[in-house]
A and B are shown apart, each in its own frame.
Chain A
Amino acid sequence: MNLKKLKIYFAFFIAAFVCRTWAEKCKDISLSFGQQRFKIPKPMYWMQASGDCRVSYTDSAGISSMYNYCLKKVEDITSNIDAFPVPGSKGKIYVHPDHTVFCSTEEVIKSPRHTRCHFGDKELKGYYQSLGLIKSSQDGKSQIRILMGSIGRYRDYEIVQNNNTFEVKPLGPVHKACENISELKLERELPILSRDGTKFAFRDRNTRNTVIYSINPQGLCQKLPVEIPFETSKVAFTFGSESVDFLVYNSDTKTRRLLRMDLEGGKITAISAPDEDVTYMTTREDGKILYARRVKNLKGTFDNELVLLDQNVIQKNKNADHFKLIGYFWANTCNKDIDEEMALLVGQRVDVTSCHKLITQNRSSMPKESGEGKGFEALAVVCNAKTESQIKASELEGNIGR
């Protein structure tokens, strides 16, 4: 057997080994890389992240609960609808919309049926509330804004936190949101306040787009040039309010896909894969993304899962080309037909070990080093940057994995 044939057979053998090794990672992107997944009892539409371990949600009986994914258990809280964690409180305070009641998470969890909440505001009541953190200081004081979506009104409050307790004081009267925009009226639906309290998102009933307004300190609104051009539901602003997450429904696949729009340029990127059926999403204060999804199980029925994604998974344009290339390497290895958005998604999610393997295996097909910055060395840097976040993720997985 000559050398050339030997090389071919060797390469074939390596390829077969690699292909088999990758079999599991190729099956389903969400099974593959660097995420934590937890089985949850409910679809958790309109869930909200509370601190680093919990999400709040409401069940069909109209009763709020917290799901603690660190401990993998449901925690009973006050039985009102839609508990919304106060941003900046690190999960220590939440609010119910009915009379805007502020409650202490830890106190309530210790004794859910016997704890009274701290403060209620009879002047602001309704449902579909959303909260924003206007400012906070080192002495435990913060100013938050609460928008009551059902009535389109908001109010600011001062919260002073002391160890495990807190006090609440309204700051000024209840205001009508975007009072200077007269044409909104009945045409404004599903209003959501951004996490920094400076933007409102509404659904325009005529165009069916979700439009976004900024609000200045005087309470006057101005429409942003970017809009979400898809029919979508209640959106979720990221904590820095630089982006907004939303779902789009594909009636052919009957799944909902999670997308993110950058508010500066309007660029839209995918967070979930095309075949994932996402129920709802939220971001934590540290930027990590939580989304609930439906997954078919072996019995043919559906389970509900919570997925926790590292914030490094969703990058802005920086390194996008490198991630796409890595994603295409994955597709080549897995014999998948993917497009640009999917390649970016995969490349962002690949863990550091798989990243190095993919670029090593595909080294011969890479662009040359000079001038393009996509050569092996550049990609290795991108892979290495995943190291820190992946280590943290795998530590967490060791403690709270499925």
Chain B
Amino acid sequence: MLLFICSFGHEPKVNSNFETYIRNISCKNQLVQKLSRDLKKRFWMPIAVSVANKPLTKGIQFYDSTEEKLHQLYISENQTFYVEKNFQKKIITKKIFNEKLYCKMDSKKSDLSIVEPEGNSFSDIDLHKTIRQHEWGVFYFWTPAMPLSIEGISEIKKAMNKIKGHLVILADPKAEALEIQNLISTKKISSADARRFTSNQLLLLDIKMHYPGILVFKNGKISNRSYLGFKKMEMYEKFLKLELAQIERGVF
């Protein structure tokens, strides 16, 4: 009786037959929104899938603790990709739905929502502009909470001076303004290095999981492989040469 009166929640609607679930949705935008709603409290993560020669694609990864599987769903152009993987990321099932998924296009909601710039921030618009305007470069991410990430700024600058790429230094969007200000006033960083990133695309690439970290871009694409942890100039130089070679081969 108490259950009834106090009203009760309900089990999430996604059942274990994931394929059946997604097939019942006719529109790709609705699919992403419905999954976001139904899976919001389970082990699901937004993911970004970077495929060579294609734009970054937003998807969803859902962890099923009962079956110990990862379910990934991403939509690229007119195809929907559904992938099941085990914990070693080995693909168990991969299906491609070739159906064109139609829906009323809502201009305010696109697959990759664009974040407008606000103040001294680095948004998706800034990101797209940067990777279009420069042949190749590096985004370096730091936070006041990790002193080695502050120290690493000079190391990546030295490395990039040698290899001649475009460097963008970006601060943790959650960093306390006062801490950043203190670092500027004590000359530990310059104000140009204090730009916070708000780009959704960068967040989708999980760059917030460790500071410092770097991401490489070339020919308008961002590499999937971040390089994490404090490094000296020589290590950055070595890594960047290898990474650029991989990207040249089309491996993102």
Contacts and interface: CB of A to CB of B under 8 A. Distances in A.
Interface of A: 11-12, 14-16, 18-19, 42-46, 58-62, 81, 127-128, 149-150, 186, 189-190, 203, 205-209, 225-227, 229-234, 247-252, 254, 256, 259, 266-270, 274, 279, 294, 302, 331-342, 361-362, 364-365
Contacts of B65: 267-269, 340-341
A335 B2 contact: no
Contacts of B3: 332, 362, 365
Interface residues of B, number: 57
B82 interface: no
A190 B145 contact: no
A231 B206 contact: yes
A360 to B, nearest CB: 10
Contacts of A149: 229
A279 B211 CA distance: 12
Nearest to B36: A252
A251 B204 contact: yes
Interface in B1-58: 1-3, 5-12, 36, 40-43, 45-46
Contacts of B7: 332, 335
B228 A203 contact: yes
Contacts of B211: 45
B6 A268 contact: no
Contacts, number: 160
Contacts of B96: none
Given A233-B209, A339-B41, A339-B42, 13 more contacts: A15-B1, A15-B5, A45-B143, A45-B211, A61-B188, A205-B226, A226-B87, A227-B89, A231-B206, A250-B46, A268-B43, A334-B6, A340-B65
Q: Main secondary structure on chain B at its contact with chain A? A: loop
A310 to B, nearest CB: 23
A268 B183 CA distance: 39
Interface stretch (B125-133, B147-155, B161-169): B147-155
A60 B179 contact: yes
B144 interface: yes
Contact of B46 (A252, A259, A339): A252
B147 A81 contact: yes
Most chain-B CB neighbours within 10 Å: which of A44, A207, A332, A335?
A332
6 contacts: A43-B145, A190-B210, A229-B87, A234-B210, A250-B45, A251-B208
A149 to B, nearest CB: 8
B107 interface: no
Nearest to B150: A60
Given A60-B179, A226-B87, A229-B87, A128 B229 contact: yes
Interface in B42-99: 42-43, 45-46, 63, 65, 68, 70, 85, 87-89
B6 A332 contact: yes
A362 B182 CA distance: 55
Contacts of A267: 65, 68
Contact of B174 (A12, A203, A230, A294): A294
Nearest to A259: B43
Contact of B228 (A61, A189, A279, A342): A189
B225 interface: yes
Nearest to A10: B1
Given A11-B2, A336-B9, A342-B41, A205 B210 contact: no
A398 to B, nearest CB: 32
Nearest to A344: B65
A62 B211 CA distance: 14
A32 to B, nearest CB: 16
B147 A59 contact: yes
B2 A15 contact: yes
B200 interface: yes
B207 to A, nearest CB: 9
Nearest to A251: B203
A362 B239 CA distance: 59
Given A60-B150, A279-B145, A338 B41 contact: yes
Interface in B89-122: 89
Contacts of B12: 339
Nearest to A335: B7
9 closest A-B pairs by CB: A337-B9, A15-B5, A62-B147, A251-B203, A60-B144, A332-B8, A233-B210, A231-B206, A233-B209
B227 A11 contact: no
Contacts of A12: 5
Contacts of B203: 249, 251, 254
A149 B228 CA distance: 12
